[in-house]
């Protein structure tokens, strides 16, 4: 059961813009309101929009469940791995070992109120990205699974 | 008898709930040591301008780990409920 051509075209047009906005919310989680959970939910909205506009058979040709399953697991593994990486270097679990180190995301933040620098905050952006990937895949796979049972009952 | 007991229980619960806002003043004693520390040192220690994110992902990162695991478990549960059947497998109608 597809929606009309107008809805399908609008969904296809809006998809990249919602994706970009969600990625912005995830990547700027340590500077602006938002973060991994919120940005991941925004990105999942774009997937759900496409799913609602097209029929289940069309969706299976466009998106694959395996990709989202792998994405969800990869997000959680990256999150736990970032926390456990501090153990290998000799810090406590979940220690922010990248902050103020000069490496990736390692610039010190300017003191006081300021617009912020993207290359700061250590492991926080890494964890934001991990959680964003996980929420993106998780919410998309929930909607896809529920839709598959609906499509099965109709036939 | 039964009605009297339930009325009594309701009365006791109601009084207990009402006594909380009447007898206790909100925000006292003030336990703000942690908050003050986060606000004063959060930006310098985590190098993140967003204090909320630095609390969620750094100072209380373990909490966020639990949150992600809850989401993962929910997705695993949904995947088990709506899984695709193997060949020759049938749904049981009861």
When scoring A124, A129, A144 by the number of chain B Cβ atoms within 10 A, the one with the most, hence best to mutate, is: A124
When scoring B44, B71, B77, B91 by the number of chain A Cβ atoms within 10 A, the one with the most, hence best to mutate, is: B71
Three-class HEC string of chain A: CCCCHHHHHHHHHHHHHHHHHHHHHHHCCCCCCCCHHHHHHHHHHHHHHHHHHCCHHHHHHHCCHHHHHHHHHHHHHHHHHHHHHHHHHCCCCCCCCCCCCCCCCCECCCCCCCCCCCCECCHHHHHHHHHHHHHHHHHHHHHHHHHHHHHHHHC
**Nearest 5°: CA angle at B78, between B73 and B80?**
95
Count up the domains in chain A and report the number. 1
Which tens digit of pLDDT belongs to each residue from B4-16?
A: 999 999 999 999 9
Which tens digit of pLDDT belongs to each residue from A25-35?
A: 988 888 888 88
Domain boundaries, chain B: 32-83
A5: which 2 tokens?
């051509």
Please indicate if any CB of chain B lies within 8 Å of the CB of A131.
yes
> Which chain B residue is nearest to residue A145, measuring alpha carbons?
B82
Which tens digit of pLDDT belongs to each residue from A95-143?
A: 888 777 777 777 777 777 787 778 887 888 888 899 999 999 898 888 8
Which tens digit of pLDDT belongs to each residue from B17-29?
A: 988 878 877 777 7
Contact check, Cβ <8 Å, A109/B58 = no
**A72 contact residues in B (CB cutoff 8 A):** 72, 75
Tokens 């695991």 found at: B69
- Residue A124's closest CA among A146, A138, A152, A104? A104
Q: Indicate the residue of A93, A114, A142 with minimum beta-carbon distance to B78.
A: A142
Check pLDDT > 80 for residue B84. no
For A32, the domain range is 5-154
When scoring B38, B43, B49 by the number of chain A Cβ atoms within 10 A, the one with the most, hence best to mutate, is: B49
Contact check, Cβ <8 Å, B69/A127 = no
Taking residues A73-99, what's their average pLDDT? 85
Whole-number Cα distances in Å, A75 to A79, A86, B15? 6, 18, 49
Whether residue A14 contacts residue A47, with contact meaning beta carbons closer than 8 Å, is answered with no
Model ipTM? Answer: 0.79
Q: How far is A26 from chain B (nearest CA, A)?
A: 11
Q: What is the DSSP letter of B49?
A: S
Whether residue A41 contacts residue A31, with contact meaning beta carbons closer than 8 Å, is answered with no
Which tens digit of pLDDT belongs to each residue from A35-73?
A: 888 998 999 999 888 888 887 777 877 878 788 888 888
Q: Cα(A2)–Cα(A7) distance, rounded to whole angstroms?
A: 9
């Amino acid at each position: 059961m597809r929606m009309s051509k107008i809805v399908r075209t609008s969904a296809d047009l809006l998809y990249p813009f919602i994706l970009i906005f969600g990625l912005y919310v995830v990547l700027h989680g340590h500077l602006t309101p938002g973060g991994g959970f919120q940005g991941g939910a925004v990105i999942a909205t774009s997937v759900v929009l496409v799913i609602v506009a097209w029929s289940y058979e069309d969706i299976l040709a466009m998106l694959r469940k395996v990709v989202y399953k792998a994405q969800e697991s990869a997000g959680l593994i990256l999150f736990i791995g970032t926390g456990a990486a501090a153990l290998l270097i000799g810090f406590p679990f979940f220690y922010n070992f990248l902050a103020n180190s000069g490496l990736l995301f390692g610039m010190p933040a300017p003191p006081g109120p300021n617009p912020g620098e993207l290359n700061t905050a250590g492991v926080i952006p890494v964890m934001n990205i991990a959680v964003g990937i996980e929420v993106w895949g998780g919410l998309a796979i929930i909607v896809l699974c529920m839709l598959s049972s609906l499509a099965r009952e109709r036939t | 008898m039964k009605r009297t007991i339930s009325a009594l229980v309701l009365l006791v619960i109601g009084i207990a709930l009402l006594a909380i806002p009447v007898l206790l003043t909100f925000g006292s004693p003030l336990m703000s040591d942690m908050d003050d520390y986060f606000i004063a040192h959060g930006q310098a220690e985590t190098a993140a301008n967003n204090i909320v994110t630095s609390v969620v992902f750094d100072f209380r990162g373990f909490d966020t780990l639990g949150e992600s695991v809850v989401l993962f478990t929910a997705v695993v549960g949904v995947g088990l409920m709506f899984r695709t059947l193997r060949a020759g497998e049938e749904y049981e109608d009861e």
